[in-house]
Amino acid sequence: MRAHLDVSASDHLVIEFRNSPDADWEALKNRLVEELGFRRDGTPVVGLDESIYPDFKRSNLTLAAGRDNWSGHYLLSQCASGDDFLRTLFGTLQAY
């Protein structure tokens, strides 16, 4: 899966999937919930060139999720433990 790790305007990490196929995003969503213990929270908001998806949450961290024309699908950390998780996830994704 093609991914790019960056620091967002909120000073937390974001993984952008840019031109990755939608099937890769679907597989990652399923893995986060089924294997890594996240639950989804929130209501999707769909716009013309961007969408906000339900957050991924587990006990000590929240990852915002969405898609826009520039980043593709993305996961955005909301806290320090989320930054740590995204660093690890990014490393795992780069190994594939």
Q: pLDDT of 4-17, one tens digit each?
A: 999 999 999 999 99
Residue 22 has pLDDT above 80, yes or no: yes
Domain ranges of the chain: 4-95
| SS3 of the chain | CCCEEEECCCCCEEEECCCCCHHHHHHHHHHHHHCCCCEEECCCEECCCEEEEEEEEECCEEEEEEEECCCEEEEEECCHHHHHHHHHHHHHHHHC
| pLDDT 10s digits, 76-94 | 999 999 999 999 999 998 8
Distance CA 10, CA 76 (A): 10
Alpha-carbon Rg of the chain, whole angstroms? 12
**pLDDT at position 36:** 94
pLDDT of residue 96: 67
pLDDT of residue 8: 93
Residue 59 C-alpha from the chain's centroid: 17
Query: What tens digit of pLDDT does each residue of 23-61 get?
Result: 999 999 999 999 999 999 999 998 888 999 999 999 889
Phi–psi pair at 16, nearest 5 degrees: -105, 135
- What per-residue confidence (pLDDT) applies to 47? 87
Per-residue pLDDT, 20: 87
